[in-house]
Structure 1
């Protein structure tokens, strides 16, 4: 096994040339060269043992860009002495899938399996995903699907039931620095022959800019090496290379929804610092401002509600301010709003009351409007009793006709809204409790409504 791996590594080194990007040249050739992913590939871990023994299973590799999904698929094929075939769900359709599977069938007939690597597998539709199933079951292919999206949402259950999902993590700054140091020292595949001068702090800046993506870090290092003055990567060089760095943010993927969830829950938890951080992360990632405005307005309604009715007004004003000022000036209105929402008194009482009323409507169907509340624009309707007995509340003592029933007969005494003891709802709750008690007393006295 070891000698075969050595021969394979030597062949790969011989094929490498200066035209390949540094990130491709430095792709790990053995499991020991892999940086990070110790939870899956550390000594004695189940996946590592399976790979080293050549006893592989079809799998979905879920993780952010540049964490090693393609590398791991290549290593699987090498350790299992299997054919390696790669297709991209972005560039391939069903005919390409069928062609790849036909090649795998021919290889299987010769007594050898194929590791079929499908990049961005979540982009395939159901019929394309289903095409793999019989070949996985017969052992023709070892499917390795790579995705940056949550497989639970993006892959169909039939495919998931035949694959194990392995979660890969973004690399830490320390791990990326280690990979950069390997590239600087390697004279065969890396930049060792250039004898570049670069200190640890500069490598850390590159690693930080890569944002967990080792491939991106190696690309930045390669660019820096080309711009280096007299073989030294200094602050001036890094200023040019890192000027336009961006953070990871997928406007339609799981990171997007994770971050808006974090913003909403930070507001709900009355943590203005966290709310401001997640708001800034989303703005930095290029979130649609209209979407952000809608979500902040929803927070004002759902989580603050009548505990502080000003929150909704401020949300609408911030939205209007952004539309008038645009970016970046208008973003400050969102920042102020996020801070205010976080520190405001919280209540979901109106939200819960609405949900309770909706559930009641769905459960009880079309209940009749009490006769005294019905409109009576015609003589016929008046004759049928529409509006009879209605009390005009402004004429009643205290401005409320306490004995007047407004809910359908089947729902008398039903209370949907339960104010919390925070903010303005303290006062609302006191008034509402008195009104409800007075209505109950009036009904007990049996006054006609």
Structure 2
């Protein structure tokens, strides 16, 4: 095997030692492989499979699955069966998990503090805004003591929004993750003044959750990856009544924690912390790794996220844009303020931009794509940049008013034409890249 194949095999061995399946995206982020769906990895995985078979070792590649799945895709299973015959995949995966990979020096997992050694817990909030609420609160001292006695500093707590309260689009969904210290104190110490006042003025929350544990880091799950709590944590969620989960928290098993690690997240600031948040959009697994093996993109690229599959997007500023621009309504008739760009998550990018605005009547929304597809259509940032450049060129060529950077004032018809032009250019670039890949 070559160095890349050994690197992939070591990563798989690390996951196996942690009794976790892994995904093509996680392998890609670990070794710097940026093509969506692992395209091109198959040849390397086949070499690894043969290498392991020749040495009489369990087949590590059987724990490599698509996001959200337990077994390899049928295409991958065809290669696996060619080497291993007609196997029971669950039994084979269990064999991989049971094997002591520390006995294979060339595949010895590299030392890492995270995420192994951590536990994951589950609890519920009425929302998720760590920048103003930097703790987890318990109803009484006994519940907090239970949590502290059963956890260690650095424990991760997955947060889902209660089904009866909170923003409607978040209810019942896992929307964030907190890393907790073992510092205990009164909740007011870890909540911003305005948010504390709001809490204490609400009869439903006044005087509640005062026994707190301080958070040290936090990540928001990108909206495209919000999932129902019972889908991500079926065992943990069904292990106790929702009221108990919200009041005391429950532990999450290793196999369910694996699903959490696959979600794309964005680190956010924690109230009271002096530590800077890394806004890179990446899997939680990668966010918890001290140093990622992802090379910086070769092209100029300012979006805070790892390379890999991308959406093009057009955001629209909603509100009285004549007032915003300081001109008459006639000057902006049938026009709109837009921002063009690309991202792993148009919704997260929209929220990031909106967070820089004071609360008011001007709100950004995702105009395109609508609806947002389940999977990003473009393989990487380089291809997406081609689409973004085409959108900018179309706007400039048609004399749209530049408002700086990627922001423009454009007529409605031009916005639609711009979207078409960007996707045409990106699709063309992707087709050319795939043709070149096949030829090599």
- TM superposition score category, shorter chain reference: under 0.3
Structure (1/2) with the larger strand percentage: 2
Structure (1/2) with the larger helix percentage: 1
Instruction: Work out which structure has the larger RCO, using CA pairs closer than 8 Å and 6 or more positions apart in sequence.
Output: 2
| TM-score under structure 1 length normalisation | 0.27
